[in-house]
Amino acid sequence: MNFKKHTIALAVGSAISLSNSVWAAEQSKTLEIAPITVTGEKINRTLEQTQSSVAVVTDKQLREKEDHSLVDVFARTPGVYNTSGNENWGIRGVPVSGFDDQGPAALNGAVSVFVDGAVQPNRALTLSPMPLWDVEQVEVFLGPQSTTQGRNSLAGAVVIQTKNPTFEPSLSAQANGGTYGERGGAIAGGGSIVDGKIAGRLALDYQEGDGYIDNLFNDEDANQTRTANYRGKLLVLPNDDLDVLLTYAHGESRKGDNSVVRQGDRIRYYKIDSNTDAYDKLKQDTVSAKVDYRLNDAWSITSLTANTDSDYDARLDFDQSAVDNQVVLRKQYGDLFSQELRLNYNSDTVKSFAGLYYGHNTNNFHDRLFFDDELFGTVKGDTTIENKAVFGEVNWTFAPRWTLITGLRYDHETNDTDVKADDFSEPGKDKQTSDAVLPKLGLDYELAANQYLGFMVQRGYRGGGVNVRAGSGHTSYDPEFTTNYELSYRGSFMDQTLRTRANLYYTDWKDQQVSVVNPDTEFFDVFEPVAVTSRAWKSRLKRTSASS
């Protein structure tokens, strides 16, 4: 983080931006493109020096492109796909939740999203479009990030950094409106609280809309949406060597029914016929503390502590019609705690870190199915995941233009699931423990100034667990692994006004977690022995990509 008193003033004066014309005026002031620093891999590098396949969007680009949410960033990022409202998205063809169907209460995924260092709950990744108001930078990593980020990053990771406090006053605001009842407003600002010692920043964003789906049953908008996000940050500089950044964030999101209805052989978009007031609601609170202590010019210590509480509530139209009255009521309460401690070293030829990680995740879930207001069945239980890891990385420039990249992570995970009630199969209690060694090895060569060619091999990992889907029998399943081989070129031209990237990768996926229908129960199982003859699935991914 390295907040110095003489470099902390990143914004001077105050600015109020209420229209796109102000943004256009800002971007016309300069034609130069400043160097982009990638921070998501815990070693600061320029974009050209970063061998991992990554798409970086700065705050300036967010304004220029008028990006309001992560959906907008995904829409123009090669190798990333997404659907309306971010309900489903993925990296390199791999869905954020993986290819298996572990149930709506599962804590495992294939992609992790971090906001200010705090990992986001699974529900936040698909329920909310994740607004980008007052965001400094978005980094979308394509390909495994397991050595650096650990669990749930087999296919990639998204790292979002919001704006930090400064000692100079700043103020920005915006109002927006659009079709289908879209409307909202946002404001952010801050400055010095104690000169040279304490600075603060606040950001608020509220958005709502009617959606474009009509409910023919009651002649109302079916998918009304509402999001509200509030964030406060406090920067404390006790002395020149110690930086403390405290963050509190509160988010609320609500959406209606975004179903697609089939009538015979015809699929009907944008119109539904439902007698249920369906909705999904999520509330979450995140607190985090990042502490950087500089021991000397080369050595430093970083501590990152984060905790997120989430409350998910939903009413779903189970029959998806106005004929029957079948309703699912769903409640989930989750908690994500993480503590990371790193020792960092930086010299002219070596950049490295070594770290310890501890994570404790819990989720309590309760689903109830009603037929004509009578309780037909229920599924209730809880999952606790404990994750411990030792990890590190060394980047060594052992000769002019040549850099060796080595990394290693040992990950230990325990998944303890207790399904206390399941009216569609037997309740189950199971415990899954797994260990993973996650290496990466790469070589980078500087062809010329700001021109790099590299090759990297690294292992991806997604922990095992217990199937919590209703009627599944709740058996445990093993971890899955990928080995990714990637050749990359990165370069910039014309005083860094043009940046280009090209990647060629091959991924070998073993012990793949997939869902199959049990022919006896017609429910989904993970690694059902009857369907796959006791063998896990395997896949291979191959692709080339280029961007500028």
Helix (H, G, I), strand (E, B) or coil at 127: helix
Locate 13 and state its tokens: 């004066």
Q: How many CA atoms lie within 13 A of 57 on its CB side?
A: 27
Report the alpha-carbon distance of residue 10 to residue 170 in Å, rounded: 10
Looking at residue 101, what is its pLDDT? 57
Phi, psi of 146 (to 5 degrees): -65, -35
Domains of the chain, first to last: 168-536 (2.40.170.20)
DSSP for residue 124: H
Sign of CA dihedral 335, 311, 289, 86: positive
Q: How many CA atoms lie within 13 A of 365 on its CB side?
A: 26
**The pTM is what?**
0.88
* Residues of the chain under the 70 pLDDT cut: 1-33, 85-86, 100-104, 471-473, 513-537, 548
| Sequential DSSP letters for 182-246 | -EEEEEEEEEEEETTTEEEEEEEEEEEE--S-EETTTTEES--EEEEEEEEEEEEEEETTEEEEE
Looking at residue 11, what is its pLDDT? 32
Report the alpha-carbon distance of residue 183 to residue 170 in Å, rounded: 24
Looking at residue 168, what is its pLDDT? 96
- 88 beta partners: none
Report the alpha-carbon distance of residue 539 to residue 150 in Å, rounded: 21
Report the alpha-carbon distance of residue 185 to residue 20 in Å, rounded: 14
Pairing mode of beta strands 135-142, 498-512: unpaired
